[in-house]
A and B are shown apart, each in its own frame.
Chain A
């Protein structure tokens, strides 16, 4: 090293070189992000504020000033929050069970999580409509068993919507939490116990904080997926539960109001960005 230093110029070029190399590696993805995401996004934002007579905020006024569209925003938020909360409640213990499972059982459980990801969301949502409709399997079974006398209305209710969404988005919550839990050293809990922490205290003071990165990743994924979901609400509840995503689709495909659709997209984007920012703020290590 000394000899090299004697020959090399006094400035340290290696750092710049490393940066250059890193930039080189990042370049392809940068091009894709700029070209395929950033540029269309800018165009979208532009469309949302440009009217026939120049710049205008009329689209946003309509969206944020009409009770109907405030209801749409609320529907999206409510659907996203409900789905995320229920998915989390199911996934957190499931991730621990998965991490504790061994051998063939673990492989089997992981396969049941991964395989549905290969099927299209449309297939899965449609499968739920088959299960839940009035002459669906659930109703037919309950009728045959004599538990109910008339079919229960399940399809096209908020319950059906959330149940279906939870089912479809479950892997996106379980997998990041599982990855986190699987890496968790059992000795942290043991250390906490020997220091006088009861199992409950250990859970809240040690296990939850140490699995927070997985929780936040899962929550951010499932919330952004559900808040922007289009297929699931369309198939499982339809017209009577308009969300931002269905509103955007309608604006573009039926009403031919690209400006309004773009504005709705921008609002959805703001919600998603807010959640992601909040998540990364939370996951950042406390000082």
Chain B
């Protein structure tokens, strides 16, 4: 992302509700045409951050810029943002076309222009034939599309999605994720999604901001986020992993040796000796046929879960620790429950994180 394309800049924004700090000096920079997801558990501050950008709430401190304007104190109706709400908030007293036209009407656009924009927006979301319908006569998926068309019709500087897909059933949601991403890329929209659904985050966005307790823990591309989580929280929140706590006993060249209850493991990281850490890796890194410089742990297979293209194997490594391995269908000998097996994985794909007090 080039510095010249800075489109939305959130600088040192904090928000408190009473004694609770919901956002704690958050910085976020989004380029024009970028799709960014705020991902985190409920209460992490992601929705509040979205509302601050929309102008539906005011930050206690910090600054927000959109398309080169300081909008920190601009009321929502002068911000030129588009919001797709969780429950869509479509106006029940207006038709589909009336909803989509609303933003342009209140801007005082000429009727011909409004009609053209409504038609364009509705055909974008493939609802061109339903303009005259009442909102109550639409399915959930159709309402979602109308909400999107309504937000797009005013050509906002940024589109904000507040858990916009969460009300749809799983299959429809997955279809909409792909379709929505393509549509937003087609119209070159800048968008922020708020979600607690990691699949949605990985599918929809160019970059994902993992939020926890009012802060952004990591802002990275989906692939990077998965392969190189910056914290134990980010690791836990995105994708599956094996996690084994231990104590650092030594290390050099950006690697540490960690004593765990299942033996000594090596990991990427820099910690002082004696530090409590959690050693972690992704399930697809674990292999049955161990070779070369690697971490290895033996154990008894506790469960084998067939999921089509992959099979998840949980291994009891003793001492209360377990390993999670993902084996592809091509792996010749698939172990069975109660088999004694030995799993190995590369040190370069082993992370060490500072142990969280309550993790």
User: Are A and B physically bound partners?
Assistant: yes
Q: Kindly list chain A residues whose C-beta atoms are within 8 Å of the C-beta of B79.
A: 194
Task: Verify B89–A201 contact, CB threshold 8 A.
Answer: no
Task: Answer whether residue A191 sits at the interface, using C-beta atoms and an 8 A cutoff.
Answer: yes
Task: Verify B85–A190 contact, CB threshold 8 A.
Answer: yes
Task: Verify B56–A193 contact, CB threshold 8 A.
Answer: yes
Residue among A191, A202, A210, A285 making CB contact with B134, cutoff 8 Å? A285
> In the bound complex, what is the Cα–Cα distance between A206 and B87 (angstroms)?
17
- Min CB gap A162→B, angstroms: 32
5 contacts between A and B (CB under 8 A): A187-B87, A191-B90, A194-B54, A196-B80, A196-B103
Task: Answer whether residue A78 sits at the interface, using C-beta atoms and an 8 A cutoff.
Answer: no
Residue among A190, A193, A201, A209 making CB contact with B93, cutoff 8 Å? A209
A210-B93 in contact given A196-B107, A197-B106 (Cβ < 8 Å):
yes
Q: Kindly list chain B residues whose C-beta atoms are within 8 Å of the C-beta of A199.
A: 77
Task: Verify B87–A185 contact, CB threshold 8 A.
Answer: yes
Contact with A along B55-84 (1 / 0, CB 8 A): 110000000000000000001111111110
Within 8 A of B (CB), among A200-234: 201-202, 205-206, 209-210, 212
Residue among B78, B89, B92, B150 making CB contact with A190, cutoff 8 Å? B89
> In the bound complex, what is the Cα–Cα distance between A194 and B78 (angstroms)?
8
Task: Answer whether residue A192 sits at the interface, using C-beta atoms and an 8 A cutoff.
Answer: yes
Task: Verify A192–B102 contact, CB threshold 8 A.
Answer: yes
- A187, closest chain B residue (CB): B89
Task: Answer whether residue A188 sits at the interface, using C-beta atoms and an 8 A cutoff.
Answer: yes
- B94, closest chain A residue (CB): A209
Task: Verify A190–B76 contact, CB threshold 8 A.
Answer: yes
Q: Kindly list chain B residues whose C-beta atoms are within 8 Å of the C-beta of A191.
A: 83, 85, 89-91
- Min CB gap A202→B, angstroms: 8
Q: Kindly list chain A residues whose C-beta atoms are within 8 Å of the C-beta of B85.
A: 187, 190-191
A195-B150 in contact given A187-B85, A187-B89 (Cβ < 8 Å):
yes
Residue among B56, B103, B134, B160 making CB contact with A195, cutoff 8 Å? B103
Within 8 A of A (CB), among B305-332: none
Task: Answer whether residue B164 sits at the interface, using C-beta atoms and an 8 A cutoff.
Answer: no
Q: Kindly list chain B residues whose C-beta atoms are within 8 Å of the C-beta of A185.
A: 87, 89
- Min CB gap B254→A, angstroms: 47
- A210, closest chain B residue (CB): B93
- A: residues with CB less than 8 A from B are 185, 187-188, 190-199, 201-202, 205-206, 209-210, 212, 285-286
> In the bound complex, what is the Cα–Cα distance between A193 and B83 (angstroms)?
10
Q: Kindly list chain A residues whose C-beta atoms are within 8 Å of the C-beta of B151.
A: 194-195
> In the bound complex, what is the Cα–Cα distance between A2 and B89 (angstroms)?
39
Task: Verify A188–B89 contact, CB threshold 8 A.
Answer: yes
- Min CB gap B1→A, angstroms: 26
Within 8 A of A (CB), among B106-139: 106-107, 134
Q: Kindly list chain B residues whose C-beta atoms are within 8 Å of the C-beta of A212.
A: 93
Task: Answer whether residue B154 sits at the interface, using C-beta atoms and an 8 A cutoff.
Answer: yes
Task: Verify B154–A195 contact, CB threshold 8 A.
Answer: yes
Closest 7 CB pairs of A and B: A195-B103, A187-B89, A191-B89, A193-B76, A197-B106, A194-B83, A209-B93
A201-B106 in contact given A194-B82, A286-B93 (Cβ < 8 Å):
yes
Taking A190-B76, A192-B102, A210-B91 as given, write out 16 further A-B residue pairs in contact, using a Cβ cutoff of 8 Å, ordered by the A residue number.
A185-B87, A187-B89, A190-B54, A191-B89, A192-B77, A192-B106, A193-B56, A195-B77, A196-B107, A197-B77, A198-B75, A198-B77, A199-B77, A209-B93, A210-B92, A212-B93
Task: Verify A205–B83 contact, CB threshold 8 A.
Answer: no
- B76, closest chain A residue (CB): A193
A285-B93 in contact given A196-B77, A198-B77 (Cβ < 8 Å):
yes
Task: Verify A188–B56 contact, CB threshold 8 A.
Answer: no
